[in-house]
Amino acid sequence: MTGQLTTGQLNASELEKIRADFPILSRTVRDSRPLVYLDSGATSQRPRQVLDAERAFLEQHNAAVHRGAHQLAEEATDAYESARARIAAFVGAEPDEVVFTKNATEAINLVAYALSNSAVAGGAAERFALAPGDEIVITEMEHHANLVPWQELCRRTGAVLRWYQVTDDGRLDLDSLELSERTKVVAFTHQSNVMGTVPPVAELVRRARAVGALTVLDACQSVPHTPVDFAALDVDFAAFSGHKMLGPSGVGVLYGRRELLEALPPFLTGGSMIEIVKMEGSTYAPPPQRFEAGVPMTSQAVGLGAAVDYLSAIGMERVAAHEYALTEQALTGLSEIDGVRIIGPSDCVDRGGAVSFMIGDVHAHDAGQVLDDLGIAVRASHHCAWPLHRRFGIAASVRASFAVYNTPAEIDALLAGVQEVRRFFRVPA
């Protein structure tokens, strides 16, 4: 994701071997066209190793975790907790700092609701309570999942939402906002899901710390594509989804600094997350169990553990180097096509593999339709970042997003597809 990562790329035979692990990549679509899957930013495909891990768990070890004393219950709990430990290690966290959620959206909502629950929780949680006039700061490039939960938190508490603006070339404008003593939360993406932009995390964390604000990192688009170490980034909370990192849907992760999770009240309540329950009231388990109410997803957590093993076996530095090369190829190729406008940085500095663009005045839906007809799967919408699109004066864009299994030939197919869109809709040169 940075300009230095150009070594250690995957060679052609390694790439071929990786692709062979993903059964879906060998299918055809739309009149026998080979699938060119460039929508991993929405959801990634899963290798056999992940599918096998889920199936093996369900066929051999399935039981409700953290309850029951029978052998299957023990095995299921071990598999679930082993997955947690490996996922934690993958992102520079301790196991008890990793909370399993349904997805990243739920993880961010968990933080937002736990913060507003702090107002009535008493004890150590009181320091998290927000008051009218407090500020929550986000950025203009956020996915709706890191925007709407904060709007709602403001509505519940009387806090005020403010945001860093985005420059014309898709970078964060750090001069557009000053944090203040009233700033309680600074939430931002680790990589824009539209533009690929990687904001200056260290600087944002430094500014937040200086005013005593909590930091929340949306790491959905970074964890699948580059080495990430939450402890080294020094963020307070972070969220990511399993299905964007070769893992199953229905499982996501909230990372929280241990002392913060220990002090926060729960979001969802019920079974599993309790310490003592009496008719008059209850006390709650330590984290991470406090934030995992009910019987959790199990085969999905096990599958995500397998996905982390799979990525680790390749090596995240090499994953990043490979995707960097694909991104550079796409940006160079697109910038050479008349009428193409890239939304976001047109160079590879501090930028990941999500490339959004417009082709003349062809609507993204229409462009996506022509690409789909060629077997090329891209996203054509506002990509759940509507305010960002509005900032660039457009309703929607075409987004190609890459993963470890994509090839240079697929980027060539995309570029040829863009030419076909121009021809079909008669975009002037």
Active site residues: 384
Task: Quote the least distance from Cβ 354 to another protein, whole Å.
Answer: 18
Residue nearer to another protein on the CB measure, 184 or 382: 382
Nearest to 110 by CA among 158, 145, 154: 145
Residue 160 neighbours by CB under 8 Å, 6+ apart: 133, 134, 135, 136, 154, 182
CA 423 remoteness from chain centre:
35
d(CA 193, CA 322): 18
Tell me if 239 sits within 8 A of 220, measured CB to CB: yes
Rg of the Cα trace of the chain? 22
Per-residue x/- mask for another protein, residues 221 to 260, rule CB under 8 A? Answer: ----------------------------------------
Q: Is 418 a residue that touches another protein (CB under 8 A)?
A: no
At residue 31, φ and ψ (nearest 5 deg) are 60, 50
Task: Quote the least distance from Cβ 147 to another protein, whole Å.
Answer: 15
Residue 32 neighbours by CB under 8 Å, 6+ apart: none
Task: Quote the least distance from Cβ 362 to another protein, whole Å.
Answer: 8
Q: Is 316 a residue that touches another protein (CB under 8 A)?
A: no
* Binding to another protein in span 365-384, by CB under 8 A: 365-366, 369-370, 373, 380-382
Nearest to 402 by CA among 11, 36, 29: 36
Task: Quote the least distance from Cβ 259 to another protein, whole Å.
Answer: 40
Q: Is 392 a residue that touches another protein (CB under 8 A)?
A: no
Q: Is 35 a residue that touches another protein (CB under 8 A)?
A: no
Per-residue x/- mask for another protein, residues 325 to 364, rule CB under 8 A? Answer: --------------------------------------xx
Nearest to 36 by CA among 411, 321, 420: 411
Task: Quote the least distance from Cβ 393 to another protein, whole Å.
Answer: 11
Residues of this chain that interact with another protein (CB under 8 A) are 30-31, 363-366, 369-370, 373, 380-382, 386, 389, 395-396, 424-425
